[in-house]
Structure formats: structure tokens, C-alpha cells
Chain A
């Protein structure tokens, strides 16, 4: 309909990269409708440019939606595949086969990737990513130990360090996700609407009270 509108919507779409395609399609269609209807109310198609120039910058607009929907399933799967792949090469055994290879370096890359996933993809996904890394490392270590047989005895201290480093990966993913979630909850544009809760009736005064109370808030009677 208008070059300005198309350019604006294209940029919003670009900034929503990584979100589910269906969601993006719906958002873009809704914004397009809004622009068309606003222009219509303002006097016709010639005002589309004015409407678009009064809208939020594409990056800001996309960011608001990204906070709500996060990354799509395809991207989540890709992140997990990358994390599993990197985790395989962090098991401190590959240096034995190739002294030039540094598992510590891969470990650092894995930390950066986990931190990114934790801060961008949400708390549930952060936990999945952290545990994927944790489990992968143990599976690879177990496989190598099984192949090496009695030549591959792992000492208690090394095993403890390995366990600690693996647990650290879960924390690296989880902590930024949790911090960002708390931060966004504070910033979120919403009235903290009352959550619906289970209720029951007080046997003494018949007042309807929350189910988790041990004493009636009206008459003070004990709830059995």
C-alpha cells in the first residue's frame, strides 16, 4: 500500500528474527491493519507516512513482542544441538588424543553460548540447555570410560572437579535467565491482576475464604 509502511513492517519483522513464523505473521498483519485504519481515520492513504513516523521504532516494537513470545521452537532446537555439540568437546579427554586441542577453550565458548541462551530464551529453556550440557558431558565421559576399561580409571578429585564444572554450566544458563525474568516482571506493562485461587467455605460463619488459610479470616475459627 505504501512504501513507508512496507519498509517499517519489514524492519519490525527483521528485528523479530528467531520468533515463530506464525506468530510473526500475525503480529505484522495486525500492525498493518492498525496503520491502514489509522491512516483511514486521519484522512486517507496519503497519511500513511505520518502514521508510520509516529509509531515506535521497529527495533523497540519488535523487542516488546520478543519479550512476550521469545524464540520459536526451531531456534530452541538449534541452540540445544549447538550446546550438546560443544559439550562433547569439553570433556577433558580429547587432549590425550590431540595435545593441540584445548577443551578449556571449548568450555569457555560453551559458557558464552549458555549465558546467551539463558539471557535471551527464557528460564525453562535455560534449564534445558544447562542440563543438556551437564548430561552430555557425563554420557561422553561414561562412554570413554567404558571403552578405556581398566586403563581409564578416573580419580576421585578429578571426578569431583568434573562434576563441579558440569554443575556450573547449569548455573551459567539459569542465573541470567532468572535475573532477566525478575527484571522484566518489574518492567512489564500490566496490572498485577489478582490470580484466581482455590476457595472453601468456613464451617462456622460460612464465609468464602482462600483454601490455603488455616484460620477463617472473618470469624477466626480453625479450618479443618
Chain B
């Protein structure tokens, strides 16, 4: 894998982060740190997001209307921001998922074509 430029891998990740974030949040309302952890575990460490990537991405998705957030005060008194999908986010995730599967299938077909 050393021959592949880091930039290309970064672009691949960049193009799929929003989709992965929506998919993780679709499983129930979650807060930032929890999202990082779940994403890392679900992707076997492939997506190990830094806070500087995650939070702005979440805020961007919220501003686009795909996510909504809610502050919940913990027992310790510390307020925590939870994110969940909006109806628009659910619809977009459904379409994006279908498109992603379509793309993966198409790329696989090209890569594995005999002729």
C-alpha cells in the first residue's frame, strides 16, 4: 500500500465520512466522543477521526438540516450535546446508501472484469 499516495486515500475517506457519520447516528442519538469510538470500532480502525474533523463535519451536517442536536445535562452536571437524524437526514442516508452500494458494485465489476 506504500505506493498509493496518502492524498488519494484521504480523498476516499473524505468522500465517505459524512455517509458513515449519518449511518452511525442513525442507530440512535449520540454525542461526539461516542461517535468517534463507534466509528472506529465499526470500521476496525479505518476511520479514526480527530476532533478537528468530526465536530465541524457534524456542525455542517446539522446546518444542512440532516442532523438535529440537543443538550442533555448529565448527572455530573456537565451538559452533553447529542446528535440525531432529522427526517431529511433519514431520507438522504437512504439514498446515499443505495448510491454507495451501487458504486461499490460497479467498481468491483470493473476491477474484477475478465476482459
Write the residues of chain A forming the contact surface with B, with a CB cutoff of 8 angstroms. Answer: 26-27, 29-31, 33-34, 36-38, 41, 55-56, 60-61, 64-65, 67-69, 188-191, 193-194, 196
Contacts and interface: CB of A to CB of B under 8 A. Distances in A.
A189 B50 contact: no
Contacts, number: 79
Chain B interface, DSSP helix/strand/loop, else mixed: helix
Contacts of B78: 33, 36
Q: Which of A34, A37, A189 has the most CB of B within 10 A?
A: A189
Interface stretch (B1-9, B55-63, B107-115): B55-63
Contact of B81 (A30, A64, A190): A30
B60 A34 contact: no
B31 interface: yes
Contacts of A65: 56, 59
Given A189-B17, A191-B16, 9 more contacts: A33-B81, A38-B33, A55-B51, A55-B52, A56-B51, A64-B56, A68-B56, A188-B60, A191-B17
A189 B56 contact: yes
Contact of B60 (A29, A33, A36, A68): A68
**CB-CB nearest 5 A-B residue pairs:** A56-B52, A191-B18, A64-B56, A37-B33, A194-B95
